[in-house]
Structure 1
Amino acid sequence: MVPKTRRRVFFLAFFFAFFLGRLAAAGAATPGWSLLDEVYDLAEKNYPGFLDREALEAGAVRGLVDSLGDPYGEYIAPGDLPFFTSSLNEEYTGVGVVFQEVEGQIVLKEIVPGSPAARAGVKPGSVLVAVDGRPVTGLSLEEIGRLLEGTAGTYVEMTVTLPGSSARRSYYLRREVIRPPVTGVHLFAGQVGYLYLRSFPYWAPEEMEAALAWLEDRGARGLILDLRGNPGGYLDAALETASLFLLPGKPVVQLLGRDNKVTLLQSRGPGQDLPVVILVDRDTASAAEVLAGALQANHAALLIGTRTYGKGAVQTIFNLSNGGALKLTTAYFLTPGGRAIDGEGLKPDIEVAGRQEQLDRALQVLRAQIAPSLVAAVPAGK
């Protein structure tokens, strides 16, 4: 797995709809684009260098998208689409290792639980030496990632030196579709559950439901939902996750589309009745803001932390006829009460700076809510 040095924040209403029409059809003028055709004809007749029609068309498309003023708009070339899709879905085909370069060595920083590497006993801290017998020295992280990734069901040999030793060991691993976990759970003293949600891939609600069940089975009476650093993901994932907390029919988010058309999305249930505190910060964005805003507006949670990022734009991905895709903003989201988030963010109910301080305050608030009443514990007349 190649570590992501730049996380794209995507908030999607739909995935891979069809884009109707192209900017320019090869060899024919497109009505309404006479200036573009004129420039191309002049270049074709007068430019002494080679004209690559495909590259010129892609450049024209990028220029059109850039000129829209859409900060999230993007043209994805056909060759970049597989990586884009993998990055968007946060899943990939490989063996389940996360690595980084440390002083010239490729160190396995993390082994994805349940992955082929984990089942084979590969240890974090091991140094990657070779892939299929090819030394990785001098290769970029992207090149190493491509060697490890491949078609599901195929095999790859990974040679490492064990942590704290120069001894080498080779693992023959079968590639699988890898879904890195997006949740983490813990039960604090006082029956306060803690649930961290990293992002919103399409399987996030399933993990969230399992995490909530784990906490419930252990007697959690309150919940801290940590959305700090969560950059968002799929709209449907945010809607389904909100439905785990809100009763059916409760408003989750408003979508403001073309011609000021407003669509209200509602909870599908089942909901739950634990007191909830949500931790947010300036990197809580997009779908994470939808979830936090929905629970705050429905008085189902208190927000503690700092103002959120403020990404309230919805993107749709359209397939293009050349095998590429267009990512385009198609709507903006509002809180259930109609408050815009884009460029503004959510203001927490209790503003606290500092990660540990935020967690401490959340624990304090929840423990106060779920502690037995001292008055009720005193017999009548005492």
Structure 2
Amino acid sequence: MEEKENMSREQGNEPKHQPPAKRYIRLKPFSFLMLVFGLVLVSAGITFFVLTTGEDKVVEVVSPQKPLERKEFQKLYDAYDELKTNYYDEIDEKAIIDGAINGMIDALGDPYSDYLNEQEAERLIESISSSFEGIGAEIQEWNGYIKVVSPIKKSPAEKAGLLPNDIITAVDGKSIQGLSSSEAVLLIRGEKGSTVTLSIRRGESPETFDVKIVRDVIPLETVYPEMLENGIAHIHITNFADSTYEELLTAIHEMSAEGMKGLILDVRQNPGGTLNAALAISDLFVEKGKNLFQYVGKDGKPNIYTAEDGEKLTLPVAVVIDDGSASASEIVAAALKESANIPLIGLKTFGKGTVQTPMDLSDGSNLKLTTAKWLTPNGNWIHKQGIAPDIEVPYPPYAMLPYLDPSVELKEGMLSPQVKVAEDMLTATGYDAGEIDGLYDAQTKKAVQALQVDLSVEVTGILSEETTFGLLDKLRTKIQEEDPQLMKAKEVLLEKIQQ
């Protein structure tokens, strides 16, 4: 789901095993009449009891006017009756029922299990279609807050500067503390062209800042290939959808036609997706018969899934990961590391080792429950631990700078944290802003003027909206061009190719 709760698209049924189809009984006319007659007798009030042995169980078959009851729900029924009878105002029965279900889910203490009412369930279905409208960020509930797992590549969220682990404290000025990720999604999403303001807390700072984001159509392309120098291909997978495996195969064939000698598989800031897509992609790189992962359901017994026959990629491969690589990304990273001896480069991954299953309810609402945990090929559970890279390569400091708000005009004489951020960005992109102290002095103004000349905008020395966006674009380009993790992966592959 956009603003997608992480794992909202996780296909939790045991991988590659579909539930049996529902069976229906065809009744002959005579049988149908007898069935109707039987129902008439029941509706007339005939009641009987069937006693079962063991645990003193009693199953009661009653008239349609008297619902079957379960003892464990008696307290819930009593509370509902008290509300309906004695609460001073009219109650919203649907809201009360939804709240009761939400309460049961919340009591699990599992941020990945959720109840989605009809409207939220529709959003879930939309989020796995070819596109949707919103800001393009994966989120999850975390300690009562909503945390960004990862912005989607080329989305408004990415362009606005949202980063993994940012905490969203409010939407359009309304606090969302305590909301489920599904409830937060309904506030964050909206029509193309509309604006939403998110209040963000980043890192250890207790301060928040506002980010205005214009919503747009978010296409669900998931694979982005490019050919680098020396025959090294770079393929970035942004999430794992049903189409991702075929997209990846197409990209690999395209890169092979261009002379690919080595492949960098990039799952940074990839929050996950469907389990079967992760397994199919892992299978491309792992020798037949070797473990892909282990699936542990309610019975606690691991089911081990192994690589099968099929197309295999045998040229040198490296995988780049970071703290935004979660769930399905971690399944792939673990499989390639432990069963194919493929190096992982970058930062420790997010650490999500559970699988969710969406289950439709009769009224169109949905339960998304954690139904299993998964283990790496060697039997390691990485939940809340993450997967450590073989070669750790941090991001440069300028890649993790706080947000610079384009709507705030900065000019000479101002002293503020935003000025300090601007000075950091100017310095990182090659403009001499002088001492980085948060004071917009003459040297800062001179650096902004040089930037405005390069951007071909009016030279005022004032950091206003147009200039700020230009500065952010320059910083983003620098991060992409001087990507230290990608550079290290190229270095590792070159060594392998030359061996």
TM-score (norm 2): 0.55
Q: Deviations over 1:251-284 (max 9, x none)?
A: 1110111131111122233222111100000110
Of 331, 334, 358, 2:485 maps to 358
Are 1:180 and 2:220 matched, yes or no?
yes
Inter-partner Cα distance in structure 1 for 2:102 and 2:488:
47
Aligned to 1:8: 5
Aligned to 1:346: 387
Against the structure 1 CA distance between its residues 246 and 63, is the aligned structure 2 distance closer, same or farther, given a 3 Å change threshold?
A: same
Task: Kindly name which structure, 1 or 2, has the bigger radius of gyration based on alpha carbons.
Answer: 2
Inter-partner Cα distance in structure 2 for 1:69 and 1:254:
24
Retained in 1: the 8 A contact 2:320–2:485?
Answer: yes
Which structure has the higher relative contact order (CA within 8 Å, separation 6+)? 1
Aligned to 1:337: 378
Retained in 1: the 8 A contact 2:348–2:387?
Answer: yes
- 1:340 Cα deviation after fit: 0.6
Give the 3-state SS of the residue equivalent to 1:259 in structure 2.
coil
Aligned to 2:446: none
Give the 3-state SS of the residue equivalent to 1:220 in structure 2.
coil
- The number of residue pairs the alignment matches comes to 294
Against the structure 1 CA distance between its residues 294 and 320, is the aligned structure 2 distance closer, same or farther, given a 3 Å change threshold?
A: same
Aligned to 1:278: 319
TM-score (norm 1): 0.70
Inter-partner Cα distance in structure 1 for 2:129 and 2:291:
28
Inter-partner Cα distance in structure 1 for 2:487 and 2:193:
42
- 1:17 Cα deviation after fit: 7.3
Aligned to 2:126: 86
Against the structure 1 CA distance between its residues 196 and 212, is the aligned structure 2 distance closer, same or farther, given a 3 Å change threshold?
A: same
Retained in 2: the 8 A contact 1:280–1:304?
Answer: yes
Q: Deviations over 1:342-372 (max 9, x none)?
A: 111111111111272111111111111102x
Against the structure 1 CA distance between its residues 110 and 331, is the aligned structure 2 distance closer, same or farther, given a 3 Å change threshold?
A: closer
Aligned to 1:288: 329
Q: Deviations over 1:311-355 (max 9, x none)?
A: 011001111112101000011111000011111111111111127
1:296-311 aligned within 5 A: 296-311=337-352
Inter-partner Cα distance in structure 2 for 1:291 and 1:222:
18
Q: Which 10-residue stretch deviates more, 331-340 or 245-254?
A: 245-254
- Higher helix share goes to which structure? 2
Q: Which amino acid aligns with 2:489?
A: A
Give the 3-state SS of the residue equivalent to 2:72 in structure 1.
coil
Inter-partner Cα distance in structure 1 for 2:349 and 2:393:
12
Which ranges of structure 1 fall in alignment gaps of 5 or more residues? 19-24, 100-108, 112-139, 148-176, 374-382
1:41-56 aligned within 5 A: 41-56=81-96
Inter-partner Cα distance in structure 2 for 1:72 and 1:301:
30
Which ranges of structure 2 fall in alignment gaps of 5 or more residues? 21-63, 137-153, 157-186, 195-216, 397-482
- 1:98 Cα deviation after fit: 8.2
Q: Deviations over 1:207-237 (max 9, x none)?
A: 0000111111111111101110000000001
Retained in 2: the 8 A contact 1:12–1:234?
Answer: yes
Aligned to 1:144: 191
Superposition RMSD in Å = 3.0
- 1:179 Cα deviation after fit: 5.2
- Higher strand share goes to which structure? 1
1:362-381 aligned within 5 A: 362-371=489-498
Q: Deviations over 1:191-210 (max 9, x none)?
A: 11111100001110000000
Are 1:75 and 2:128 matched, yes or no?
no
Inter-partner Cα distance in structure 2 for 1:60 and 1:141:
24
Aligned to 1:131: none
Inter-partner Cα distance in structure 1 for 2:382 and 2:73:
36
Retained in 1: the 8 A contact 2:155–2:218?
Answer: no
Inter-partner Cα distance in structure 1 for 2:383 and 2:121:
27
Q: Which amino acid aligns with 1:74?
A: D
- 1:77 Cα deviation after fit: 0.3
Are 1:262 and 2:302 matched, yes or no?
yes
